[in-house]
Amino acid sequence: MGKIKAAIIGATGYVGVELLRLLLNHPGVETAAVSSVSFEGKKLSEVYPGFYNIFDRVLCGKDEAIAAGEIIFASLPHGICEPLAKKCLAAGKKFIDFGADFRLVNEEDYKKWYGGEFAEKALHNEAVYGLPELFAEKIKAARLVANPGCYPTSVILGLAPAIGRLGDFPPVIDSKSGVTGAGRGLAQNLHYAECNEAFAPYKIAAHRHLPEIEQELSFLAGREVRVSFTPHLLPINRGIISTIYFTLEKIAGLDEIHALYKDFYKDKTFVRVLEKGETASLKNVRFSNFCDISLHYDAHVNRFIIVSAIDNMVKGAAGQAVQNMNLMFNLPEIEGLGAVPPVF
Amino acid sequence: MGKIKAAIIGATGYVGVELLRLLLNHPGVETAAVSSVSFEGKKLSEVYPGFYNIFDRVLCGKDEAIAAGEIIFASLPHGICEPLAKKCLAAGKKFIDFGADFRLVNEEDYKKWYGGEFAEKALHNEAVYGLPELFAEKIKAARLVANPGCYPTSVILGLAPAIGRLGDFPPVIDSKSGVTGAGRGLAQNLHYAECNEAFAPYKIAAHRHLPEIEQELSFLAGREVRVSFTPHLLPINRGIISTIYFTLEKIAGLDEIHALYKDFYKDKTFVRVLEKGETASLKNVRFSNFCDISLHYDAHVNRFIIVSAIDNMVKGAAGQAVQNMNLMFNLPEIEGLGAVPPVF
Amino acid sequence: MGKIKAAIIGATGYVGVELLRLLLNHPGVETAAVSSVSFEGKKLSEVYPGFYNIFDRVLCGKDEAIAAGEIIFASLPHGICEPLAKKCLAAGKKFIDFGADFRLVNEEDYKKWYGGEFAEKALHNEAVYGLPELFAEKIKAARLVANPGCYPTSVILGLAPAIGRLGDFPPVIDSKSGVTGAGRGLAQNLHYAECNEAFAPYKIAAHRHLPEIEQELSFLAGREVRVSFTPHLLPINRGIISTIYFTLEKIAGLDEIHALYKDFYKDKTFVRVLEKGETASLKNVRFSNFCDISLHYDAHVNRFIIVSAIDNMVKGAAGQAVQNMNLMFNLPEIEGLGAVPPVF
Amino acid sequence: MGKIKAAIIGATGYVGVELLRLLLNHPGVETAAVSSVSFEGKKLSEVYPGFYNIFDRVLCGKDEAIAAGEIIFASLPHGICEPLAKKCLAAGKKFIDFGADFRLVNEEDYKKWYGGEFAEKALHNEAVYGLPELFAEKIKAARLVANPGCYPTSVILGLAPAIGRLGDFPPVIDSKSGVTGAGRGLAQNLHYAECNEAFAPYKIAAHRHLPEIEQELSFLAGREVRVSFTPHLLPINRGIISTIYFTLEKIAGLDEIHALYKDFYKDKTFVRVLEKGETASLKNVRFSNFCDISLHYDAHVNRFIIVSAIDNMVKGAAGQAVQNMNLMFNLPEIEGLGAVPPVF
């Protein structure tokens, strides 16, 4: 079998360029085309000079990218991927969307949180939520994958094993993300002098990843699950930590729940359930596709605390997309994602 | 009236040197002596060269410091302040302890969390918990003040106005602190290359500030209050954000609770209850004695979220101690603490 | 005598808001007006929420600011201050310009480096270069002061004592500046994720501060002095370090040159010539108006190395302007600038 | 041919663990053993938890490491590698030393700068200075390679093409390094709160890399070359920028010198001579084995400025060692070093 021809639409955004890195390092992939609206006609290495002599390809337009690839990755603002996906599928290609357009199942949710409508309902019915640890079989068969949001990835993996046993108390999810999650677009709060030595929550109980989290947790639980969700902006480049507080319906000790998690993820390379006593930390997952999960029990309030750590650019975006691609093309899930990451 | 003669024991720790800065800038204080165990005999400006030509005083021993001051500030490891405080009070001096020795009222708590006993029970009975917004009258009359911990300051101020109306649900307190809170002592996780671009929680449900938080909240509530408390280490120098989730016994809207907070702190210069829609942020309190509090209501889970932000070195330590000193000496609370802080 | 009525035009830029801080902390100044083109009509505390409850004044227009102040500080893009300065002087006010419009004496230099002409030649003749350690007498008598650039301040103070004894070798000046020097305007290279963990020189031998440096050094030397000047961008908020390499016309040892520097600055509060063996460091001057200078001699190539450190926002901009204002109004030079700065 | 069996002595230092990462990612290498004095008997993943489930091997002693490997990498304090190297060579193994023990040819230099003597003169005669772009042929034949220092790598590669044409003026080398260069050992100036937002030079004209730089430049020039060398500590994890100022014996323009550099490095994968007008930057070489070089000419003082950028942990240490290993084992120089690095 030849190499997979992959094309990236939106290759100069932060997720796009991280995906490009992973694809170039992937032994089974040929990067067929990179496309950009803002920089079409320029070399990618003019936008990111670190690619000089590594990848000096000229950025093309969308149509050229679609024509060149067997699989098309789109990292674009939400609201514009329906026609692209339709076109790709009609042409016999596979499509992975980094945006939110195919994540929410319920059109009402999409209207409320993103302000648009579903023009192509069939596509939405077909789209698979691309969290491989939970939905690998569906992903293998999919033509259209909605790559999960970064916060939802950390939260859903953190809660999935226990979701059927949660008590009434809606979990509290306190998440902290590095700045690459906010993307390449300039903003005053991301201006170095203002982001440096600063820290704050934002969009409290109002972040667009909230309905995505609740949709997937509810699906897994088989009942409606609501959560408190507060994202915070960390003055670091990469990584998300979600600290999650929850109770169980019936009392259980740390040993039991830890064993439950260990078992749930026993065949999942990219989820590391840490030993009891260890604490998940951003620095141990940077540049990797791992989701590290540590479990803690606070007896005096009878609550469990889960710490879930990912690299928002890898497991939270580009790495997860490669993992999805591997599944869609019957490659080993780890292919191209197994490089040992730097410690510092 | 002459200037207050102030002496610092433990002047070369991070809190000590921050206190020195505030005292030197205080128009009503004469810094009578600075003492250090590690650097006795050296000039303070040899330890902190930024003080060159500003404050080149030689660091003395404890006894000399006690003799020189009317008020003695001690920034020392816990477990050694009882004899110091006793000596000071016996000599007619006032004493403010930055450590935990006089914060916990219950000896059993102290034993459990700090491993020691109360040798001088009378002193513990006399000691006042130095949170001026709540206990100003007691502080004015005090000879011995236990300066609150940094996390507890952010949490107690954040919850105090609502404490009598809390529901059964133990509040979730997710706190994040800059590294100066960990002090000057070298440690692998504070080594620049390992702390930089990193983030993680630590001592989950096991931090020594937990009993202090619960003690004071319980006192204010008039009943036992338990909380979930998770501290995290931020790769920045200064500041604490506590994100606090709680429910009310009886349903109330944001307007009502916001008004409650505004009223509760209406005469408190150093607590700024932000307008609805605003979010408290570390960068707005750095280098100041402010505690900024913002209120948020998440209707879909019927929870309130409080964001409480302080500078751990000022309102969380040295600034609060100066505020306490002002009260103890009948000075205006703001004296020496009103300088406009830098934005960057 | 009443307080000086000061007005700031361009109060929402980084230099403007730092100046506001210093003026609010200055016992002899009344901040009469703050003006902003971008945010006129808004409160300053809406732009910088840290000023909430501290300074909630509404930002006015230029004319209003000029009318309100006895002294007008202008922190604006270059090329627009001539008419403002003219208007102020005509109205009997004093004017301090943070921009480059009045720094360069030679119109040809201005044309070459800034692309404009001198419309008001009399103003340029009258303007005084506001480096108080060198030109205090002129500043005292001035109505119009050109506040020096940040890099030039660090360099000129670093070389002034030795300037008459330099050898033929044009000094090499390798400077590094924190990002506030680049201002509030958004730019890709100042976007947090791209500036963080990065470092590089820029505008090598082509920075607009080069002619300013050479002009002043030549004036001090009484002959043409040329230099190599390379600025670099540091991923920190504040501070400039200039590392300066030079030779002397006649051989001299470190003792002699160190004594020369000590003597040259013996009455200058804000220049600290460090002891031999010490090295100037950014962290010792942050938030202060100090310029720290250390001297080093490399016998094996017979060169001196000067390290000159300032806070670019204080001694490199707003603090120096306050120092100039003090001189212009016969106040002690240190007034409002003597607060002990934080160590961290 | 089977895989190369590689062993690391000193695997838990920063260079050691970075080397481990590269070796684990190298398709032609089997990591045969990792050794540590401080942590012998522990798993490497206990020291660096990021390696959990990736590499949980137990850290062994030196002798075991030597027995296990065909090639031994030693990352140890200077002064202790002579007996190790001797033992390895006697046992038919190859040896790459990250320390300084075999870098200096002249024993007098070693005595002066490191305070020791050459006990094994034959080893010193045999040792090859492992800068592959300059000494590939010797390295291919070597059993004992002295891996260059990080600063010298950036400087020597930056000056080598022009070295024969330098004028009398000793080059000025102003270098800036990230903190991993200072290693894992705790130190007050590397404590996060003190290193963060700070910057300063250190060991001015007195750094141990100075004699190494001068030795190699003199060798390349065929005459004694002296330089000014000032290292600075950057508050970032990785990377070195050297800004180098020099003159030529005979006048030449930028075009000519740029062409000279392009030609000199035309077959060297890991040296990228940037196009005229571009400037080398740390962020473009992070995590890679590249040395980026940009050339600049300052006509008004008739000087060239070279900016040389490397990742101190890769091209300045572990990557260069792998490159040397590749040469010593007749592998393509790029093997294991070609992964596209992350942009952020």
Find the angle CA(D288)-CA(D294)-CA(D300) to the nearest 5 degrees.
160
Alpha-carbon torsion (C5, C11, C15, C17), positive or negative:
positive
How many C-beta neighbours within 10 Å does residue B256 have?
12
CB-based contact, A197 to chain C, within 8 Å: yes
Low-confidence ranges of chain C (pLDDT < 50): none
Chain C nearest-CA distance from B344, in A, is 7
Crossing angle for the helix pair C209-221 and C150-159, to the nearest 10 degrees: 30
Examine the domain organization and report whether D74 and D211 are in the same domain: no
Quote the domain boundaries for residue A193. Answer: 151-312
Residues D31/D36/D42/D46 CA torsion (nearest 10 deg): -80
Q: How far is CA B111 from the centre of its chain?
A: 22
Query: What per-residue confidence (pLDDT) applies to B1?
Result: 64
Answer yes or no: is pLDDT of B171 > 70: yes
Chain C environment of D174 (Cβ under 8 Å): 172, 174, 243
Question: Do A240 and A323 fall into the same domain?
Answer: no
Mean of pLDDT over chain B: 97
Q: Is B215 exposed, middle or buried (0-12, 13-18, 19+ CB in 10 A)?
A: buried
DSSP string, A31-88: EEEEE-STTTTSBHHHHSGGGTTT--PBPB-HHHHHHH-SEEEE---TTSHHHHHHHH
C117 and C221 in a single domain? The answer is no
pLDDT of residue C37: 93
Residues D287, D157, single domain; the answer is yes
The sign of the dihedral angle between the CA atoms of C1, C2, C7, C8 is positive
| N-term to C-term CA, chain B | 37
Give the B window 209-248 contacts with C, CB below 8 Å. Answer: 237-238
Examine the domain organization and report whether C288 and C322 are in the same domain.
Answer: no
User: Is A344 inside any structural domain?
Assistant: no
- Judged by DSSP in three states, C113 sits in helix
C-beta atoms of C199 and D176 within 8 A: yes
The Cβ of residue D61 has, within 10 Å, a number of other Cβ atoms equal to: 15
Cα gap A311→A290, rounded to integer Å: 8
Q: Is the same domain home to C172 and C248?
A: yes
Q: Is C281 on the interface with D (CB under 8 A)?
A: yes
CB C74 within 8 A of CB C96: yes
Within-domain flag for B334:
no
In chain B, % of residues over pLDDT 90:
99
- The C-alpha atoms of residue A310 and residue A313 are separated, in whole angstroms, by 9
How far is it, in rounded angstroms, from Cα D267 to Cα D37? 40
Q: Hey, are the CB atoms on D186 and B184 less than 8 Å from each other?
A: no
Instruction: Give me the mean pLDDT over the A138-147 stretch.
Output: 98
Number of folded domains that form chain B: 2
Using DSSP, state whether A265 is helix, strand or coil. coil
Nearest to B162 by CA among B229, B298, B262, B270: B262
Query: E strands along chain A, which residues?
Result: 4-9, 29-35, 71-74, 94-97, 128-129, 144-146, 172-177, 200-201, 228-233, 240-246, 271-273, 291-298, 303-310
* B292/B312 Cα distance (integer angstroms): 12
Helix (H) / strand (E) element for C325: namely helix C319-328
Tell me what pLDDT residue B157 has: 98
The verdict on a CB contact (< 8 Å) between C193 and A235 is no
Find the catalytic residue in D60, D150, D195, D291: D150
pLDDT of residue C151: 98
CATH number, domain containing residue B261: 3.30.360.10
Which residues of C fall within a CB distance of 8 Å from A235?
A: 192, 196
Chain C: partners with 3+ C-beta pairs within 8 Å: A, B, D
Q: Which two tokens stand for residue D148?
A: 């260059």
The H or E element containing residue A112 is helix A107-114
pLDDT band at A36 (very low <50, low <70, confident <90, very high): very high
A315 DSSP 8-state letter: I
D81 in catalytic set: no
B330 touches chain D (CB under 8 A): no
Q: A273 by DSSP, 3-state: which? A: strand
Cα first-last separation, chain D = 37
Q: In this structure, are residues D34 and D41 in contact, taking their beta carbons and an 8 Å threshold?
A: no
pTM higher than 0.90: yes
Residue C17: per-residue pLDDT = 98
Chains that touch A (3 or more CB pairs under 8 A): B, C, D
Q: Specify whether B143 is located in the same domain as B158.
A: no
Q: What is the pLDDT of residues C258-300, one digit of tens each?
A: 999 999 999 999 999 999 999 999 999 999 999 999 999 999 9
Tell me how far apart the alpha carbons of residues D42 and D46 are, in angstroms, rounded to a whole number: 7
Q: How far apart are CA A79 and CA A264, in angstroms?
A: 35
When pLDDT is averaged across residues B21-37 and rounded to a whole number, the result is: 97
Identify whether residues B200 and B262 lie together within a single domain.
Answer: yes
D contact test, residue of C204, C237, C288, C343 with most D CBs within 10 A: C204
Model confidence at D1, in pLDDT bands (50, 70, 90)? Answer: low
Residues of B in contact with D14 (CB under 8 A): 193
Q: Which two tokens stand for residue C303?
A: 């060169």
- The dihedrals phi and psi of D229, each to the nearest 5 degrees, come to -135, 120
Q: Is residue A64 part of a domain?
A: yes
State the sign of the Cα–Cα–Cα–Cα dihedral A262, A268, A274, A275: positive
Domain shared by A141 and A184, yes or no: no
Closest CA to D95 of D29, D25, D142: D142
What are B324's two structure tokens?
């306490």
Q: Determine the Cα–Cα distance for residues A172 and A247; give it in Å rounded to an integer.
A: 10
**What is the model's pLDDT at position B187?**
97
Domain co-membership, A208 together with A323: no
Whether chain C has a CB inside 8 Å of the CB on D304: the answer is no
- The crossing angle, in degrees rounded to 10, of helices C107-114 and C209-221 is 160
Q: Which two tokens stand for residue B310?
A: 């302080």
- C152-186: string of b/e by CB count within 10 Å (b at 16+)? bbbbbbbbbbbbebbeebbbbbbbbbbbbbbbbee
Instruction: Kindly report the three-state secondary structure assignment for every residue of chain D.
Output: CCCEEEEEECCCCHHHHHHHHHHHCCCCEEEEEEECCCCCCCEHHHHCHHHCCCCCCECECHHHHHHHCCEEEECCCCCCHHHHHHHHHHCCCEEEECCCCCCCCCHHHHHHHHCCCCCCHHHHHHCEECCHHHHHHHHHCCCEEECCCHHHHHHHHHHHHHHHHECCCCCEEEEEECHHHHCCCCCHHHEHHHHCCCCEECCCCCCCHHHHHHHHHHHHHCCCCCCEEEEEECCCCCCEEEEEEECECCCCCHHHHHHHHHHHCCCCCCEEECCCCCCCCHHHCCCCCCEEEEEEEEHHHCEEEEEEEECCCHHHHHHHHHHHHHHHCCCCCCCCCCCCCCCC
| Mean per-residue pLDDT, D146-166 | 98
Q: Is A300 helix (H, G, I), strand (E, B) or coil?
A: coil
CB B159 within 8 A of CB B306: yes
Q: Test C198 with D282 for CB contact under 8 angstroms.
A: yes
In order of A200, A203, A205, B251, D239, the CA distances from B297 in angstroms are: 17, 12, 8, 11, 45
Asked if residue C193 is part of any domain, the answer here is yes
Residue D57 lies in a domain: yes
Residue A236 lies in a domain: yes
User: From the list A179, A180, A192, which residue is nearest C190 (CB)?
Assistant: A192
Alpha-carbon distance D25 to A339, whole Å? 6
Q: Read off the pLDDT of each residue in A296-311 and give the average, rounded to a whole number.
A: 98
Joined tokens for residue D227:
């330089």
**Measured distance CA(D327)–CA(D135) in Å, rounded:** 10
Closest partner residue to D230 (CB to CB) among C200, C238, C305 is C305
B47 CB within 8 Å of a chain D CB:
no
Q: Cβ of B196 and D188 within 8 Å?
A: no
Average pLDDT over all residues of chain A: 97
CA torsion sign for C144, C150, C151, C154 is positive
| Closest CA–CA distance from residue A185 to any residue of chain C (Å) | 8
Helices B209-221 & B107-114 angle (0-180, nearest 10): 160
Interface check D54 vs A, CB under 8 A: yes
Q: What is the pLDDT of residues B118-154, one digit of tens each?
A: 999 999 999 999 999 999 999 999 999 999 999 999 9
Residue A162's nearest CA partner among A221, A202, A222 is: A221
> Which residues of chain C neighbour A236 with C-beta distances below 8 Å?
196
Residue C55 backbone phi and psi in degrees, to 5: -150, 95
Q: Which residue of B has its CA nearest to A202?
A: B279
Bridge partners (DSSP) listed for residue D34: D8
Interval D189-216 mean pLDDT: 98
Contact (CB, 8 A) for A295 and A257? yes
Choose the closest CB to A193 out of C180, C188, C193.
C180
- Nearest residue of D to residue B182, measured between CA atoms: D193
Shared-domain flag, residues D223 and D262: yes
The CATH number assigned to the domain holding B127 equals 3.40.50.720
Encoded tokens for A153: 């990835």
Burial class (CB in 10 A: 0-12, 13-18, 19+), B289: buried
Q: How many CB pairs under 8 A join B and D?
A: 54
Residue B336 in domain:
no
Per the CB < 8 Å rule, is A287 touching D342?
yes
Q: Each residue of A278-289: pLDDT tens digit?
A: 999 999 999 999
Q: Smallest Cβ distance to B235: which of A170, A194, A236?
A: A236
- Say which residue the tokens 């004071």 belong to: B216
Residues 6+ apart with CB under 8 A from C111: C117
Nearest CB to C21; choose among B281, B313, B342 = B342
Nearest-angstrom CA–CA distance, B25 and C55: 21
Mean pLDDT of D62-83: 96
D335 lies in some domain? no
Query: What is the structure's pLDDT at B226?
Result: 98
Q: Are residues A81 and A217 in the same domain?
A: no
DSSP code for B249 = S
Please give the Cα distance from D284 to D311 (Å, whole number). 9
Probe site for chain B from A112, A166, A191, A197 (most B CB atoms < 10 A): A197
Q: What residues in A contact D20, CB-CB < 8 Å?
A: 340
C-alpha D127: how far from chain center = 16
